[in-house]
């Protein structure tokens, strides 16, 4: 904005960082929607005549078409999307264009555009999450009776249903979707009428603007309305939370599809080969999801840092809020789609899993053995110690826990009886963990029924 106040042209070096049009042009639809609603509000409060209103609206609509068909010429000298559209409107309809900005500031305009943009984007992400939920649900249902070792510290821990793992991912992502829904409510605060900082003096009908643009409430303080970017912080946090789960899922899938473990195979179309080693099948799709989480988290840190020292109200630093936001949106949408494909195409190698269970030679039942002793009246710490000694003994002898004789068991605790061998049953072990949220088959079945119902209502 050089008119009036300044005599000299903009410094060339400064010009390079001044313009945001290269990236904020992405908000053209929202900007035009906001301006059309604002033109209507200006007509309502008598600033525009009916004819002027119509000319402005038609002009804005034709600009939208120009941008869509690629004929619009964006100009760096016009700085941002707001000024580019205003300049073009002037070229098209003449002086009337200059009435549109009456009582309005770009400080509120940009917040409006960003909120409208996020209203749309959050719907998209919510839908992509539901798609992924469906894939996780299907895998869980298919593999309810597949038992794998669970891992703590990435060491074999206790037997669990593979469905339980798929539903763990679901549970985490379901929380993120809830966060997203709560966020959508907070997002729908309409900022127009805040002006540059003090509010509007032209009697604009804010409630009309709110309804026109499908907001739920009005921002309650004009200083806050143009100052805050907490809605961007919150959105980027939610995306980071989603990406962290997707990254950890990726890590599981990378490990579980490794040559050494091989519980899973990734479809070829989601893997790549090595340019040097012909035998390689690399899990690049999930590695990239894990990698993308870094940039989404980075973007969150970037906006947090941007905000922390700003005086109230608007400062130009805020222009730097957009590229990270767009990058987070694009990365989140993309990785959700890829993860849907990964989960859908994931093959579970039942035979390999059986082999691993056999090779574990009973050690996965160590906790069940301690529980067995507890049932016979031994205090848990003593039971834990006794089984610890048995494990040590078995390892020294090169035997599995299943292979020890009753006499050997009895030498560690007289409470062992021949029913001890009943402990070494994977299904029984899984089904003993019969609490809400536990891995027992019927608990998972109950959960699957709930989820099936839930998925019908999410869209």
Residues with active-site annotation:
153, 274
Q: Which of residues 54-113 bind ligand ARG (CB under 6 A)?
A: 80, 106-107, 110
Pick 106 or 174: Cβ nearer ligand ARG = 106
Q: Which residues contact 424 (CB under 8 A, 6 or more apart)?
A: 362, 365, 401, 402
Contact between 316 and ligand ARG per CB under 6 A: yes
Q: Which of residues 172-201 bind ligand ARG (CB under 6 A)?
A: none
Contact between 228 and ligand ARG per CB under 6 A: no
Contact between 319 and ligand ARG per CB under 6 A: yes
Residue with tokens 């739920």: 216
Contact between 118 and ligand ARG per CB under 6 A: no
Pick 110 or 167: Cβ nearer ligand ARG = 110
Q: Which of residues 355-414 bind ligand ARG (CB under 6 A)?
A: none
Pick 52 or 78: Cβ nearer ligand ARG = 78
Note whether 41 and 204 are within 8 A (CB). yes
Contact between 134 and ligand ARG per CB under 6 A: no
Least distance between ligand ARG and beta carbon 114 (Å): 9
Pick 17 or 406: Cβ nearer ligand ARG = 17
Structure tokens at 303: 């906006």
Least distance between ligand ARG and beta carbon 130 (Å): 32
Contact between 115 and ligand ARG per CB under 6 A: no
Query: Residues, the chain, total?
Result: 459
Pick 220 or 316: Cβ nearer ligand ARG = 316
CA 13/CA 5 separation, integer angstroms? 20
Q: Which stretch binds ligand ARG (CB under 6 A): 60-68, 179-187, 314-322, 338-346?
A: 314-322
State the number of binding residues for ligand ARG (CB under 6 A).
10
What is each CA distance from 421 to 218, 404, 415, in whole angstroms?
68, 10, 13
CB-count exposure of residue 115 (10 Å: 0-12, 13-18, 19+): buried
Least distance between ligand ARG and beta carbon 4 (Å): 14
Least distance between ligand ARG and beta carbon 81 (Å): 8
Contact between 20 and ligand ARG per CB under 6 A: yes
Pick 20 or 429: Cβ nearer ligand ARG = 20
Binding ligand ARG (rule: CB under 6 A), the pick from 318, 366, 404, 430 is 318
Least distance between ligand ARG and beta carbon 367 (Å): 57
Binding site for ligand ARG (CB under 6 A): 20, 24, 80, 106-107, 110, 314, 316, 318-319
């Amino acid at each position: 904005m050089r008119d009036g106040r300044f005599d000299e042209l903009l410094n060339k070096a400064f010009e390079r960082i001044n313009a945001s049009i290269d990236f904020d042009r992405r908000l053209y639809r929202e900007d035009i929607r906001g301006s059309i609603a604002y033109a209507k509000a200006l007509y309502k409060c008598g600033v525009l005549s009916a004819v002027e209103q119509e000319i402005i609206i038609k002009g804005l609509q034709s600009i939208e078409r120009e941008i869509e068909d690629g004929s619009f010429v964006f100009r760096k000298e016009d700085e941002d999307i707001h000024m580019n559209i205003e300049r073009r409107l002037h070229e098209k309809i003449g002086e009337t264009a200059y009435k549109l900005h009456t009582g309005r500031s770009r400080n509120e305009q940009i917040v409006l555009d960003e909120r409208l943009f996020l209203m749309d984007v959050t719907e998209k992400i919510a839908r992509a999450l539901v798609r992924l939920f469906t894939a996780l649900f299907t895998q869980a249902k298919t593999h309810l009776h597949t038992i794998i070792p669970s891992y703590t510290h990435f060491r074999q821990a206790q037997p669990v249903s593979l469905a339980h793992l798929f539903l763990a991912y679901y549970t985490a992502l379901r929380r993120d979707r809830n966060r997203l829904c709560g966020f959508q409510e907070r997002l729908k605060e309409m900022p127009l009428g805040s002006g540059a900082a003090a509010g509007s003096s032209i009697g604009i009908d804010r409630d009309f603007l709110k309804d026109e643009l499908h907001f739920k409430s009005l921002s309650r303080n004009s200083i806050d309305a143009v100052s805050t970017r907490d809605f961007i912080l919150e959105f980027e946090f939610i995306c980071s939370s989603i990406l962290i789960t997707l990254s950890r899922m990726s890590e599981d899938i990378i490990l579980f599809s490794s040559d050494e473990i091989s519980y899973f195979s990734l479809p070829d179309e989601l893997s790549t080969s090595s340019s040097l080693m012909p035998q390689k099948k690399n899990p690049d799709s999930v590695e990239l999801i894990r990698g993308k989480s870094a940039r989404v988290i980075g973007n969150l840190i970037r906006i947090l840092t941007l905000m922390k020292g700003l005086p109230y109200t608007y400062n130009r630093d805020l222009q730097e809020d957009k590229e990270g936001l767009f990058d987070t949106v694009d990365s989140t949408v993309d990785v959700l789609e890829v993860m849907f494909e990964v989960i859908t195409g994931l093959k579970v190698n039942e035979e390999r899993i059986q082999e691993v269970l056999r090779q574990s030679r009973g050690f996965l039942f160590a906790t069940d053995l301690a529980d067995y002793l507890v049932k016979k009246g031994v205090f848990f710490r003593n039971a834990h110690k006794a089984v610890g000694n048995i494990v040590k003994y078995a390892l020294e002898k090169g035997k599995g826990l299943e292979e020890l004789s009753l006499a050997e068991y009895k030498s560690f605790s007289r409470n062992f009886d021949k029913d001890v061998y009943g402990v070494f049953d994977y299904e029984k072990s899984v089904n003993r963990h019969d609490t809400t949220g536990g891995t027992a088959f019927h608990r998972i079945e109950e959960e699957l029924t709930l989820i099936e119902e839930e998925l019908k209502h999410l869209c």
